[in-house]
Amino acid sequence: MYKRKRVTAVILAGGNGSRMGISENKVYLSLGKRPAILYALETFDQHPYVDELVFVTKKEEWKSAEALLRAEKLKKPWRLVLGGDSRKASVRNAIATVHNEIVLVHDGARPLVQGDSIGACVEALDRYDGAVVAIPMEEEVYRVSKKQEAPKRLTQTRYAAQTPQGFYTKTLRECHLRHRENANITDDSCLLELEGYKVGIVKGELCNVKLTTPMDLSIATAYLSKLNNVEIEETLEYLNVLNF
């Protein structure tokens, strides 16, 4: 709970492993000898602001997801919600079940989210209608048009968005309903901006990497070792998973 406002964390776990080069759902890949999704689950479960967890899963993975969550013996109340045919539909299904005032939406493929980011995301709602965890982009960004011979450098600060993203549940639900048929908008914060709401950016963490490719899994493994203050093993477990 945050300032007498109850908080629900929605964790999206209905993805796939196509770009990872595997047939299984990437959130269940082994990271530090545990399913990757468990790290994010534990972090949200242990955070003092979070009151309940909503785990969004696919129909074919419902039983295995339920078994995993039961075995984890989470402290906070939790429930499963069936995902939709897109990320946007999955979020819409999840928030339709949420009665708490604040909702956090997190991609389960980001296992190493940190408690500080979760807290900052919730606290930012004192000033904004929505909040996005993000990190400044270190690389230079250029814009090139078809008629332009040389690229134009963009000098303003650019951010790489992460999750969680935080919202007032009623506001997010209304924005989803208004843009239900707009398939081009998949990011929740963009839905708020389309409706004129103010969305703030809070500092993210480099370790909050999204598992998309095999390289991402190796990076997450390195960050996990650093977070645990242990030496990085020479042979990364993901090599065994992918049969390299």
Q: How confident is the model at residue 191 (pLDDT cuts 50, 70, 90)?
A: very high
The DSSP symbol for 61 reads G
The alpha carbon dihedral of 39, 105, 9, 98 has a sign of negative
Q: Which residue has the higher pLDDT, 185 or 160?
A: 160
Average pLDDT, the chain: 87
**5-44: per-residue pLDDT in tens?**
999 999 999 766 555 666 578 899 999 889 999 999 999 9
The alpha carbon dihedral of 19, 23, 27, 31 has a sign of negative
State which fold the 7-142+151-213 domain adopts. Answer: Spore Coat Polysaccharide Biosynthesis Protein SpsA; Chain A (3.90.550)
**40-98: per-residue pLDDT in tens?**
999 999 999 999 999 999 999 999 999 999 999 999 999 999 999 889 999 999 999 99
- Beta strand ranges found along 145-222 (DSSP E): 152-153, 159-168, 199-203
DSSP 100-158: SSEEEEEETT-TT--HHHHHHHHHGGGT-SEEEEEEE--S--EE--TT-SSPEE--S--
Edge to edge, the sheet with strand 78-82 lists 78-82, 52-57, 7-12, 102-107, 159-168, 130-136, 199-203
pTM over 0.75: yes
Q: What are the residue ranges spanned by the domains of the chain?
A: 7-142+151-213
